[in-house]
Structure 1
Amino acid sequence: MNKDVFIGILLLLVAVSCHSRPSEESSASELRETINTRLNKVEGDFAVAFRVMGEDPLTLLINEKETFHAASTMKTPVMIALYNQVAMGNVSLDDSVKIVNEFKSIVDGSPYRMDLSVDSQEGLYSRIGQYSTYRELNYEMITMSSNLATNILIDKLDAKKITETMRSLGAMDIEVLRGVEDLKAYERGLSNTTTAYDLMLIMEAIAARNAVSEEASLAMFEVLKAQHFNEIIPGQLPEEVVVAHKTGSITGVRHDSGIVQLPSGEKYVLILLSKNLNDPEEGIRAMSDVSKILYDFVKNKEG
């Protein structure tokens, strides 16, 4: 064969190969562009942290280090800290805990109470003065996003120790400062905050079964699977897809943070944060669309 013809055929084969199997970098770039195009249609600010786990990892980050009010996503750090205390032998999940509705502001120690009208778990309020367990309070905190359960747990676990537990997982920016509805603290700008990147790290630790321990990680995954609020990450996904996640919302803010497991066993972590939303429902729809875009990407990649 003529040398020039051989070289030409070789170059053609290389070109065809490059076009038929796009590089991971180009795939991520196209994915980023698609996601940004969808989110840019909504008035508000967003952050995305996405990581495919396993032998063929891929990470996509958008505004991942920007600070957001954590809203109820901070309840996952509380859960991890609880299981950490259990592992240390300081408490048992089945220890009795009194249900109370009086907490101290971090500003001056003055008492405040939770308002049932702004909570999502009314059942506990009818049991004030009675006893629950750490296990039940944790379940209500995650699955129903009970603020009362959250404050009881934070009071028992200590916000500083919760934040220290996050640091041990490499999450250097999550700050759990206080319980919910501490208005004096809120007025002084003292709020629980997070970044998409840090939430990705702690969800990845649970998914990889090394948050506290394998047993604890599996237990936390099961609790996150029972999430009651499913509009964002699972909103458009097939029923057979498992989503273990924690949402969060306050005025102008809608979040979702979780682990997605396909029937094949492949997992990915997805964090979707938002703030300054003029139309929260529109923000939810956009983030749900992003979740579907990423699921389709992983599914096609898997195939």
Structure 2
Amino acid sequence: MKADLIRSIRKLITSQPYEIGITIKIDRQQELAINADRQFRSASLIKLAVINYVLASHQDLSREIQLNPDKMVGGAGVLQLLSIPRLRLRDLLALMISVSDNAATNFVIDSVGKPKINQYLQQRGFTKTRLNRNLMDTSALRNGLDNYTSVSESQRLLEMVLAKYPIAKPWFLNQQFRYKLAGAFDESGNGIQVFNKTGEGYQIDHDVAEFVYGNHTVSVALLTFGSRDRSKTIQLFNQIGEKCADYLLNR
């Protein structure tokens, strides 16, 4: 069954006309890697780097952070809609992951500093993942600054945070953007737990997920760039996720 799963996913990937990277691990053993070390624009996957640094550096999660209205940004999230003068760091992290809140992410980044996050990444052997700008910073984008990651490093970042920091697991388990890898079976009641983080932007769609069923795990990182038909790209995510779920349920 494992060989059939990998063969069918490889066939789906190689038929696509845009840039794709994917890794699949079954029970922590790598079974598939295509363009795993290619650097992609990260979109919201950079939030995996931010949360790992904050939790690894033993920040005071009860510390309150002032929410300057002048620094509020749009895009994903709910903080921009609320009139809250300050929030605990813990709550900002929860928003950053569970609803991919860009404003919350920026307040977290500003509270700890980009250099420390990048130093953390470098010291732990991450060579493709870098935080070069805040979220929704169009001026930085115009000047050629963007955030980056790779398939293998984004998968490793998700694995690290889930394995090391129990506080974060409910934020990923209740993550609201579940229409990609988990889209074909989410809320089906099949018993598979989904821990994931997505990213999206112009011609960018990413998802990194762990599917857990009983004592078995399938971990998938799928990053794409350059698709001209987003509906078909999302369909690819759904197909791959569904195949992985079927494998878990029927192994």
Instruction: Judge same fold: TM > 0.5, yes or no.
Output: yes
Identity, % of aligned pairs? 20
Q: Secondary structure of 1:272's partner? A: strand
Q: Which runs of 4+ in 1 moved over 6 A?
A: none
Q: CA deviation at 1:166?
A: 2.7
> What 5-or-longer segments of structure 2 have no aligned partner?
none
Q: What is the alpha-carbon distance in structure 1 between the residues aligned to residue 26 and residue 10 of structure 2? A: 19
Alignment of 1:60-209 (within 5 A): 60-86=32-58, 91-102=59-70, 114=73, 116=74, 119-127=75-83, 130-207=85-162, 209=163
Corresponding residue to 1:47 among 11, 14, 21:
21
Q: CA deviation at 1:288?
A: 1.4
Q: Do the aligned partners of residues 123 and 200 (structure 1) sit closer, same or farther apart at CA in structure 2, a change above 3 Å counting?
A: closer
Q: What is the alpha-carbon distance in structure 1 between the residues aligned to residue 79 and residue 112 of structure 2? A: 22
What does the per-residue CA deviation read over 1:136-169, in whole Å, with 9 as the maximum and x for residues that have no partner?
A: 1111111111111111111112122112223344
Q: Does 1:227 align with 2:175?
A: yes
Q: Secondary structure of 1:64's partner? A: coil
Q: What is the alpha-carbon distance in structure 2 between the residues aligned to residue 160 and residue 59 of structure 1? A: 34
Alpha-carbon contact 1:166-1:202 (below 8 Å) kept? no
**Which residue of structure 2 lines up, in the alignment, with residue 292 of structure 1?**
242
Higher RCO structure, 1 or 2 (CA under 8 Å, sep 6+): 2
Alpha-carbon contact 2:172-2:195 (below 8 Å) kept? yes
Q: Which of structures 1 and 2 has the bigger CA Rg?
A: 1
**Which residue of structure 2 lines up, in the alignment, with residue 243 of structure 1?**
194
RMSD: 2.2
Alpha-carbon contact 2:52-2:160 (below 8 Å) kept? no
**Which residue of structure 2 lines up, in the alignment, with residue 108 of structure 1?**
none
Which deviates the most, 164-173 or 252-261? 164-173
Q: What is the alpha-carbon distance in structure 2 between the residues aligned to residue 205 and residue 268 of structure 1? A: 15
- 1 or 2, which has the higher strand percentage? 2
Q: Do the aligned partners of residues 174 and 292 (structure 1) sit closer, same or farther apart at CA in structure 2, a change above 3 Å counting?
A: same
> What 5-or-longer segments of structure 1 have no aligned partner?
1-21, 104-112, 212-216
What does the per-residue CA deviation read over 1:99-124, in whole Å, with 9 as the maximum and x for residues that have no partner?
A: 12445xxxxxxxxx62x3xx222344
After TM superposition, the score normalised by the length of structure 2 is 0.89
Q: Secondary structure of 1:127's partner? A: coil
After TM superposition, the score normalised by the length of structure 1 is 0.75
